[in-house]
A and B are shown apart, each in its own frame.
Chain A
């Protein structure tokens, strides 16, 4: 059968093409700095994390109790300014065992894998998860549906950050 697929260009380079100096390369590195104001809703979320508590907002229309808290429900597009404390326990919705750093370099010998998870927080609406980390568990023991609880930093070390929760650990 006749082929009329049109392909042109896309000349592959090898590492040697570059290292030998055959191909000229111009380098630069960007260092961008930002200071993000945390906004109306998340500012209070962080303030409560500093107090060792998790707070959510409830949508006035669909009644979803949402994490992270938000000024408005993005589904109903109405205010969601009813503040509700939720638990610092939850259920693992999904997890990963990650052997790669952010820049695609591999974790070193003896270094622990990253254990990210989506955790559905007790007291929030069903399916309302936050991304956080797991610890105090062997990676091969982690299961979807496992109950977990937040392990907080000592009060004096909390700064009003999602990292005021060090990680979540399994409870029986």
Chain B
């Protein structure tokens, strides 16, 4: 989270991080709902279940920990956030629908939003009353998101929006989205972009879930036909959408990296080591060595994200180094997938439908490829580390300085 989203140091910190973490642990132990036995919930029931938990979490003072107090956050430092993360590390709180809002959209609004936007959106976002999604990618623009084609045209006070977004996580149950669109096609691609708040229920917004390789529908296509955007829905400045996008992507990478190495995950060292012991393969020296190496990588990532937090608290925000966490998270997932084959044995291939752990593991194995794509591919993270952290020269690009109107974008046959 950026500096402006971090409370003034010393303010409202009468409680130590340790005390705060202990209280959070206790609260979670008492309030984390038991996993329901029997019939799985319908999607609508699941959503209601998540909302109720998030509201209770907020009311207990454990959501929006580092967000500014004047907008309903706790205004505490990263040390308190870390203490909470430690308390929740072995648990699986039902907060899935809120992570895009809490991890990306909210911090960006806190950084760049107007006073009215912050007053309007941040508190309901923290309480799980309103769900957010991020609408950047398009069929023609993914890694090169600045090559996007959806456009907003001025119309009186406001704007009219047309185009299409894709891979939008959670759009099907979102109330709002942070959308990046082109507002000026006559300037080079990075200069003609603007970020807006999009009301997902506005006329002209159509959401179609897409089934992904896990068999589930997490991301969506979003069609935009003559959607009206009010003037006060601009996030940041008109024409400054790229800077806003970079801000949000920075939050995203730190956030995604920070989510990794949770002990409760099916591909964590703890889960795989436990399985190895159960199946008796933990005595195999090869399995032992690979488990140790997996631990080393997952633990190193956890320590790195913790170090970045401590640096941020000391006044040194991580900047582009968040890409290291994002990249390592993806590499670790791939390593864990390899190892899971060794420890899972026959259940890596087929399992009883009642075996929930095997089901979860299979979901994690099939979901792992998304780690190296969502939030920017591994190749893009390496470019960012090379160029923005190490200062290596950029590649020559065919599109620098060229008005967007004259560019080739998306999927076209090579000459």
Bound together: no
Q: Give A contacts to B, CB under 8 Å.
A: none
